[in-house]
């Protein structure tokens, strides 16, 4: 039986159809609300209390999670059993950070230490070539933790657009540049094309043996070896790209910040995994977040969820989460292939605070959409400038959630507008707009590891509650197949618009 066919799902549908109390009023009617909806794990405070979710609804969602088999699915994933039915695979990313099962990382850490020590020649720059999960995760890690680190600078090139690779070239000295090529299959068109161009760049700039300046990270080591690469770090085929930063794909962090930083990242993730595996569903931070996601997307029909990082070091978190959440749960069929009669994963989008306040928050406060918003902040600043910078940053973050909740009544707006009724209508704010806030005590490798493991567990839990497989991504394949036909110069059989575009571009 699929989750939407259970009694728990029907009960939630009834709750969603009932009149909803204003969120602000719930703090009075539910005295334990703040305590119950604000778990703290590994120095991270998860505040779900301003979401449109009552404690009774949370309890009903926990019942759905139980009926959907989340405890069993959780156990199967952690135990290395098959959880990716369409591909017949386990999903072993959690094993990578388990202290008892970290054998794969030994080669990664040893390679990073050798590179930092100059064993592969002088290295001041690293160009990391990959795409999707092979680039987003490592780029986030280095951007968040790499400021002021003592290792080589890391530049990530993902886009097949040559401008991306050219920008990396402009920042590097070819004589002191190492290439990392990441592809699970080592057949990814964008990655292999960029790698070939990077090797040509090294050769054209006097590097005698460019292939010796390449480290390949792949689940298909024979294919990398066939291209003449000798430095190869394998990872398991059961590790999906968007879950792969815990594997050798995370090599850039170990090079930039040192092997100890990478091990701390794993330690933080492992601590969050223990919380996820052992804590009851109703008090489990990632499960609670997943419950809120399913409630808002599937039952309240909220089609988007915005994530705003109020810390410059986490500016790449929103795009990282876009892939994690939408590639995992952006499905329209259940695990057994049957169509789903409800909306699944919300569209993830977002930006960086306070920049976004001057760009998109007009719509969030006064627009016709009232979809959930998530703020991520760090209590300790990542700089040594005047503390006023961080005080203003956090004040703005917390103010957004408070203002979205409270709004501005028409009476207040009328006073603000000096009695002008038309102006008062423009200055009124509906309020009652839900948000969650994640507050990290400090941004260190272990805290970042815990945060990213939280988001992974949250995505998995939501998938189980909706009955979808979060580990395949067949939706990516069709576009690739058509692109291969077009890039090969194939014509005919396409729609008139596509044919005309190809002709206009001279392809």
Return the active site residues.
327, 358, 480
How far is the C-alpha of 283 from the C-alpha of 277, rounded, in Å? 12
Tell me if 428 sits within 8 A of 389, measured CB to CB: no
Angle between helices 259-278 and 104-116 (to 10 degrees): 150
Rg (CA), the chain: 24
Token couple for 439 = 């507050």
Tell me if 314 sits within 8 A of 356, measured CB to CB: no
Angle between helices 55-67 and 70-78 (to 10 degrees): 60
Burial class from Cβ neighbours inside 10 Å (0-12, 13-18, 19+) for residue 333 reads middle
The two counts, helices (H) then strands (E), for the chain are 23, 13
Using CA atoms, how far residue 422 sits from 361, 365, 409, 415, in Å, is: 22, 18, 14, 12
SS (H, E, C) 115-168: HHCCCCCCCCEEEEECCCHHHHHHHHHHHHHCCCCCCCEEEEECCCCHHHHHHH
The secondary structure of residue 214, as a DSSP letter, is E
> Beta-strand (E) ranges in 273-409?
304-310, 347-352, 373-378
The secondary structure of residue 296, as a DSSP letter, is I
How far is the C-alpha of 177 from the C-alpha of 169, rounded, in Å? 9
Residue 372 contacts by C-beta under 8 Å, 6 or more apart in sequence? Answer: 51, 292, 293, 296, 302, 305, 306, 346, 434, 435, 436
What is the bridge-based pairing of β-strands 44-47 and 435-440?
Answer: antiparallel
């Amino acid at each position: 039986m699929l989750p939407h066919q259970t009694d728990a799902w029907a009960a939630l549908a009834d709750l969603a159809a009932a009149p909803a109390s204003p969120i602000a009023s719930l703090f009075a009617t539910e005295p334990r609300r703040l305590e119950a909806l604000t778990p703290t794990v590994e120095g991270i405070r998860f505040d779900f209390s301003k979401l449109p979710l009552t404690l009774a609804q949370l309890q009903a969602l926990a019942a759905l999670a139980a009926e959907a088999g989340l405890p069993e699915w959780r156990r199967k994933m952690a135990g290395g059993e098959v959880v990716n039915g369409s591909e017949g695979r386990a999903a072993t990313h959690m094993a990578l950070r388990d202290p008892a099962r970290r054998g794969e990382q030994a080669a990664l850490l040893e390679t990073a230490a050798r590179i930092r020590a100059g064993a592969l020649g002088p290295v001041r720059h690293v160009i990391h070539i990959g795409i999707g999960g092979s680039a987003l995760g490592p780029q986030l890690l280095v951007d968040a933790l790499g400021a002021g680190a003592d290792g080589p600078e890391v530049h990530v090139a993902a886009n097949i657009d040559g401008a991306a690779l050219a920008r990396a070239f402009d920042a590097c000295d070819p004589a002191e540049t190492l290439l990392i090529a990441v592809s699970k299959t080592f057949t990814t068109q964008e990655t292999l094309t960029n790698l070939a161009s990077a090797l040509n760049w090294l050769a054209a700039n006097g590097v005698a043996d460019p292939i010796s300046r390449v480290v390949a990270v792949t689940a298909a080591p024979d294919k990398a070896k066939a291209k003449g690469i000798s430095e190869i770090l394998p990872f398991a085929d059961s590790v999906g790209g968007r879950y792969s930063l815990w594997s050798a794909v995370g090599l850039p962090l170990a090079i930039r910040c040192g092997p100890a930083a990478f091990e701390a990242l794993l330690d933080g993730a492992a601590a969050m995994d223990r919380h996820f595996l052992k804590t009851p569903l109703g008090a489990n931070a990632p499960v609670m977040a997943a419950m809120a996601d399913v409630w808002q997307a599937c039952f309240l029909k909220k089609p988007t969820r915005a994530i705003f990082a109020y810390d410059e070091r986490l500016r790449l978190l929103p795009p990282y989460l876009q892939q994690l959440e939408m590639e995992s749960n952006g499905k329209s069929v259940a695990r057994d292939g049957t169509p789903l009669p409800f909306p699944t994963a919300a569209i993830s989008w977002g930006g960086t605070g306070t920049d976004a306040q001057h760009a998109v928050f007009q719509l969030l406060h006064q627009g016709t959409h009232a979809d959930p918003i998530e703020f991520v902040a760090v209590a300790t600043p990542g700089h040594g400038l005047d503390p006023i910078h961080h005080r203003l940053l956090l004040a703005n973050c917390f103010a957004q959630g408070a203002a979205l909740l409270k709004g501005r009544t028409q009476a207040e707006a009328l006073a603000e507008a000096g009695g002008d009724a038309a102006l008062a209508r423009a200055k009124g704010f509906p309020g009652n707009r839900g948000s969650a806030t994640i507050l990290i005590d400090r941004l260190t490798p272990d805290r970042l590891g815990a945060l990213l493991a939280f988001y992974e567990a949250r995505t998995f839990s939501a998938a189980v509650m909706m009955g979808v497989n979060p580990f395949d991504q067949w939706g990516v394949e069709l576009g690739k197949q058509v692109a291969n036909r077009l890039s090969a110069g194939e014509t005919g059989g396409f729609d008139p618009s596509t044919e005309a575009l190809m002709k206009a571009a001279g392809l």
